[in-house]
Amino acid sequence: MAKKFLTNLDLAKNQILNVALQNLASAPASPVAGQIYFNTTDVRIYFWDGTAWVDVSGDLRSVIGGSGLTATYTPDGDEVTLDVNVDNATIEINSDTLRVKDLGITTAKLADSAVTTIKINTNAVTLGKIQQIASLRVLGNLSGSTADVAEVTVITDLASASSTTLPTSSAVKTYIDANIGALGNLEGGWSADSGSFPVGSSPVAGTKAGDYWYVITAGTTGGVAFNVGDVIIAKINNASTSSASDWIQLEVNRDQATESVLGLVEIATQTETNDGTNDTAAVTPLKLAGRTATESRTGIAEIATQAETNTGTDDSRIVTPLKLKTNLATYKYAANVSVTTAGAYTVTHNLGTTDVIVKVADSNGDTILCDVTATSANVVTLGFSGTPISGTYRVIVSSL
């Protein structure tokens, strides 16, 4: 879709860049002096001198390749390509670079030479070189990096442990079970809705005084209500699975409430409410109402009135689409202008400013270009020169 110019263009001696002439298979009808076009049939450029079409394409019609060059023409004969003749054996052209190939010069090659290899001899170690040692003895070094390897005694009872012996894994387990296993131990999670208190199993079977669990499912056991996050501790060995008196309940979750756990909360300050980064303090309705929306913060905002929207000075209220549309309508004027002859046509828009944007379109909706003058704060004048195309034009004036 082309834009129609109904007035002359003065480029003030500036260049027209990247422009293409009008492409036509034959000369246009009713030309004016100086009109120019490109003929796609004979691939020539013509201009109208007022009487006839003159070919201005130029007189150079052929290029002949000389020694070592080959000239190739396009089918229309207007373009020629010159190529350097190469045999691609001694010389070649690759990516616009002229290169000498292997056959174009003699080659001196390096003689192959043998490289000897030094190998490390393998030291053979046989079981025959290690004498048989007595039962519960191993070869080792327990006294330092420079000491000789000697026989080390393996013990089965840590009661006789020393710095010169090694214990068996059975001896280590027996010692841990007898000493550390008797201490209170974290046994894991417990579901309080199971109806019974848990029984310890690690590291030894049975509940010991001090064994403790954390509640993973809320519920009531032994007449006591438990919440997720509570901790229960056995007071005695073999604590009862039904009597709450054998257990200590720690409401550790009461320090802070979460989305899923009942607990204590702190009231957020107005600053904390506005910042919106504290995930542990509770927001009251008053603090929420005080969190107003800004350019950098979400919040509560009031809807602007039409008068506030039109005035455009309030920076704290929100404009609705309807208020905005109603306001924008006051900045635009549209009317039809009937053009019959060259000359000036006035359009009264009453927008009260000379800072306006004017668009003119024909009946097909195509934008046309003509002279536009802001005659006054309420009037623009359209100017049509030469012999304009008669018709009804749509004029849109905007002060935005």
Residue by residue, DSSP assigns 165-213 as EEE-HHHHHHHHHHHGGGS--EEEEEEGGGSS-----SSSSS--TT-EE
Predicted confidence (pLDDT) at residue 102 exceeds the cutoff of 90: no
Mean pLDDT on 99-127: 47
Task: Name which of 166, 174, 158, 221 is nearest 195 in CA terms.
Answer: 221
Query: pLDDT-based confidence at 113, cuts 50/70/90?
Result: very low
Query: pLDDT-based confidence at 4, cuts 50/70/90?
Result: confident
Residue carrying the six token digits 């009453």 = 350
Q: Which residue has the higher pLDDT, 48 or 107?
A: 48
N-to-C CA span, the chain: 26
Mean pLDDT on 41-65: 83
Q: Do the Cβ atoms of 257 and 229 come closer than 8 Å?
A: no
pLDDT at position 62 is 63
328-398 CATH pick, 2.40.10, 2.160.20, 1.10.10, 2.60.40: 2.60.40
* Domain range list for the chain: 20-59+69-99, 133-179, 183-255, 328-398
pLDDT at position 111 is 38
φ and ψ at residue 338, rounded to 5 degrees: -95, 115
Say how far apart CA 224 and CA 197 lie, in whole Å. Answer: 11
Q: Which amino acid, residue 88?
A: N
Q: Do the Cβ atoms of 360 and 334 come closer than 8 Å?
A: no
Which tokens go with 119? Answer: 């190998």
Predicted confidence (pLDDT) at residue 131 exceeds the cutoff of 60: no
Query: pLDDT-based confidence at 313, cuts 50/70/90?
Result: very high
Mean pLDDT on 269-275: 92
Predicted confidence (pLDDT) at residue 20 exceeds the cutoff of 80: yes
pLDDT at position 337 is 94
β 212-217/371-373 pair status: unpaired
Of 201-205, 276-280, 346-350, the poorest mean pLDDT is in 201-205
φ and ψ at residue 346, rounded to 5 degrees: -95, 145
**3-class SS at 326?**
helix
Mean pLDDT on 138-155: 82
For the chain, the C-alpha Rg in angstroms (whole number) is 50
Say how far apart CA 134 and CA 151 lie, in whole Å. Answer: 9
Say how far apart CA 194 and CA 221 lie, in whole Å. Answer: 8
Mean pLDDT on 91-114: 64
Environment class of 397 (CB within 10 Å of its CB; exposed 0-12, middle 13-18, buried 19+): buried
Predicted confidence (pLDDT) at residue 212 exceeds the cutoff of 90: yes
pTM of the predicted structure, to 2 decimals: 0.36
* In the chain, % of residues over pLDDT 90: 43
Which tokens go with 125? Answer: 């170690």
Residue by residue, DSSP assigns 336-383 as EEEE-SSEEEEEE---S-S--EEEEE-TTS-EEE-EEE--SSSEEEEE
Query: pLDDT-based confidence at 287, cuts 50/70/90?
Result: very high
Which tokens go with 151? Answer: 């026989």
Angle of CA points 2, 5, 7, to nearest 5°:
180
Q: Enter the DSSP assignment of 64.
A: -
